[in-house]
Amino acid sequence: MSGVYVRNFTNLDIQALNNRAIKNKFEPYNINTSTPYLYIIRETGGIATKAYVDGRNKSFGKNNYYNSNVGIETYLVVLGYSKIDEDVNNLTTNYSNYMDGIYDAIKTLYEI
C-alpha cells in the first residue's frame, strides 16, 4: 500500500494511550511493543499538487503562487472509526445525514 507506513508502538506510546484511557474512563487497548501501528502522511501540498514547486526542477513545472498566501484549502473530516460497531452503524444508517451536514457546513462557511 503506497503511502501507508508501519511501526510498532513504543512503551511511551502505550503509557500515553493507557493514561488517556484511564482519564476518559474507557478500557485501555490491548497493545504491546509488538503491535503494529499503521499511519499515513497526507500531502496537503507538494509535488502532486505543485503547491510548493518553484521551478528549480524543470520536470515538475512551476507554480507561480508557491511562495504566497494563496493555497489549497484542505479539510480532514473524521466521521467515525471502523473498529467501533456503533460508529459503523451510525455511518451506514445515517450516511445521507452526514453528507447533508458536511454540505451545509461548507455552504455556511463559504456563504454560498
- Shared-domain flag, residues 92 and 108: yes
Distance CA 92, CA 105 (A): 20
Which letter, b or e, does each residue of 78-95 get, where b requires 16 or more Cβ atoms within 10 Å of its Cβ? eeeeeeeeeeeeeeeeee
91 torsion bin: left (phi>0), alpha (psi -120 to 50), beta (else): alpha
- Shared-domain flag, residues 35 and 2: yes
Q: Which domain holds residue 9?
A: 1-41
Work out the angle at residue 6's Cα, subtended by the Cα atoms of residues 48 and 33, and round it to the nearest 5 degrees: 155
Considering only residues 48 and 32, tell me which one the structure prediction assigns the higher pLDDT: 32
> Stretch 12-40: mean pLDDT, rounded?
90
Number of domains making up the chain = 3
User: What is the pLDDT at residue 70?
Assistant: 54
User: Is it the case that residue 67 has pLDDT exceeding 50?
Assistant: yes
- What SS3 state is found at 49? coil
User: Is it the case that residue 12 has pLDDT exceeding 70?
Assistant: yes
Average pLDDT of the chain, as a whole number: 78
